[in-house]
Amino acid sequence: MPALSSRIARTELAATFAMAARARALKAAGKDIISLSLGEPDFPTPPHVIEAAYEAAKRGETKYPPLSGTAALKEAVREKYRRDQKLNFAPENILITNGGKQAIFNIVMAVTTEGAGDEVIIPAPAWAGYEQTVNFAGATPIFAPCHAAENFVLQPEALEAAITPRTKLLILNYPNNPTGAAITAPALEALAAVMRRHPDIWVLSDDIYEKLLFDGRHYVTLAAVAPDLADRTITLTGVSKTYAMTGWRIGFLAGPQNIMQAAALVQATATSGVSTIGQAAALAALTGPQDFLAARAAAYQARRDIVLAALEAIPNLRCHRPEGAFYVFPDISACLGLATPAGRTLRTDTDFAAALLEEAHVAVVQGSAFAAPNFVRLSTATSEFTLREACDRIRRFCGSLR
């Protein structure tokens, strides 16, 4: 059989997909599985957004789109940054992508050179997609450790320690997947101070969870906090998480013109412009009513509170308090070394997640998928009723370990 590329050999499908697939298989076999493994809002896409897509299709917006996005959507993205962050981007500073994922792919491919030893700094715990993309590109992921004691926020010393002459890109992600950590303006300023000493490094700020912040917190982003770094700061947002539009595949990149052109070239090579129907939908999302977003953030906050209260009552779990996004990330290290009623010894977080699925029928994702062994990630993007039942199962599972 003809061989596949080394790029394929070094790229693994994220464990989030693997766990979801196993959960689906058990469900198909008739088991009552609660899945907390996928990072996807359970709310529906707002009806006015769906209507706008339908109207666009009927109007004939069904031809090849401009590579960098429709003029109307780019204008709406510019307005969003003006409104939310007082950031002024020109149309040439905006690129519409096929979801946040393609935005990250475009940037990593645009700034790293395969086989050249280029490094990308990923503060860990981190969403698995970054490591996968960096490996695919033939660069090296360098994980900068972030700790619960520091709210899982990247510290300037850890950033400085991770930088080498080969560093090409730093990826920031707040609110964070998987920890739910948010960042403050002073903490961003401290990171900006480090970056000023290293003028050859790009920064990608993945703000895909920008609107999902709790306890009265406000979204801040590097581009607004450190305007002097504008010539190398790239900001990523999108509609997937904010407007419950994961299936529409629309993301937004904002940054200097040269990197936007390079990112557009990557996109031109892979997919060309983004679905016209999806762009019409995203336009309606950005320009339509925004008041429901606060209600959704409040719903996620209430779910966080339910899950935290339940998990904090379990003696062998330790839980950090998420400040945004829709994940809870308990430390399960006190469970390791113990055995389940079915006789499985839990040596790793992966053993824990697998046993929890097989024996307690709750699907979560092992922390090692996020470069954070000894943790598991629970998604709270499901009903309060389901979350209570899931936490009850987790409590019984943890209590049964010997």
> What's the min distance (Å) between Cβ of 325 and ligand PLP?
8
Given a contact cutoff of 8 angstroms between Cβ atoms, the answer to whether 310 and 388 are in contact is yes
Phi/psi for 397 (5° steps) reads -65, -50
Give the Cα separation of 21 and 11 in Å (integer): 18
Phi/psi for 126 (5° steps) reads -145, 150
Contact window for ligand PLP (CB under 6 A) among 52-60, 84-92, 94-102, 305-313? 94-102
Cα diameter, the chain: 64
| Residue 267 is a binding residue for ligand PLP (CB under 6 A) | no
Question: Can you list the positions of beta strands (E) in 239-281?
Answer: 251-254
Q: Which is nearer to ligand PLP, 20 or 72 (CB)?
A: 20
Give the Cα separation of 286 and 298 in Å (integer): 20
> What's the min distance (Å) between Cβ of 263 and ligand PLP?
14
> What's the min distance (Å) between Cβ of 248 and ligand PLP?
9
**Number of chain positions touching ligand PLP (CB under 6 A):** 14
| Residue 177 is a binding residue for ligand PLP (CB under 6 A) | yes
Look at residues 356, 318, 354, 316 and name the one whose alpha carbon lies nearest to residue 336: 316
Site track 97-136 with ligand PLP (rule: CB under 6 A), x = hit: --xxx-------------------------x-x-------
- Prior bond of 178 cis (ω within 30°): yes
> What's the min distance (Å) between Cβ of 273 and ligand PLP?
16
Q: Which of 73, 76, 159, 208 binds ligand PLP (CB under 6 A)?
A: 208
Q: Which of 35, 39, 369, 371 binds ligand PLP (CB under 6 A)?
A: 39
Q: Which of 65, 69, 180, 251 binds ligand PLP (CB under 6 A)?
A: 251
Tell me the DSSP string of 137-179. Answer: HT-EEEEEE--GGGTTPPPHHHHHHH--TTEEEEEE-SS-TTT
> What's the min distance (Å) between Cβ of 173 and ligand PLP?
5
> What's the min distance (Å) between Cβ of 39 and ligand PLP?
4
Given a contact cutoff of 8 angstroms between Cβ atoms, the answer to whether 275 and 247 are in contact is no
> What's the min distance (Å) between Cβ of 101 and ligand PLP?
3
Q: Which of 246, 366, 368, 380 binds ligand PLP (CB under 6 A)?
A: 246
| Residue 69 is a binding residue for ligand PLP (CB under 6 A) | no
Q: Which is nearer to ligand PLP, 81 or 105 (CB)?
A: 105
- Reduced to 3 states, what is the DSSP secondary structure of residue 30? coil
Give the Cα separation of 150 and 137 in Å (integer): 31
Torsion, CA 280, CA 256, CA 186, CA 84, rounded to 10: -30
Q: Which is nearer to ligand PLP, 248 or 352 (CB)?
A: 248
Give the Cα separation of 171 and 239 in Å (integer): 20
Give the Cα separation of 253 and 361 in Å (integer): 39
Q: Which is nearer to ligand PLP, 74 or 101 (CB)?
A: 101
Q: Which is nearer to ligand PLP, 237 or 340 (CB)?
A: 237
> What's the min distance (Å) between Cβ of 122 and ligand PLP?
11
Give the Cα separation of 117 and 112 in Å (integer): 9
Q: Which of 123, 138, 180, 238 binds ligand PLP (CB under 6 A)?
A: 238
- 64 by Cβ neighbours in 10 Å (0-12 / 13-18 / 19+) ranks as exposed
Q: Which of 118, 206, 210, 349 binds ligand PLP (CB under 6 A)?
A: 206
Q: Can you give the binding site for ligand PLP, defined by CB under 6 A? A: 39, 99-101, 127, 129, 173, 177, 206, 208, 238, 240, 246, 251
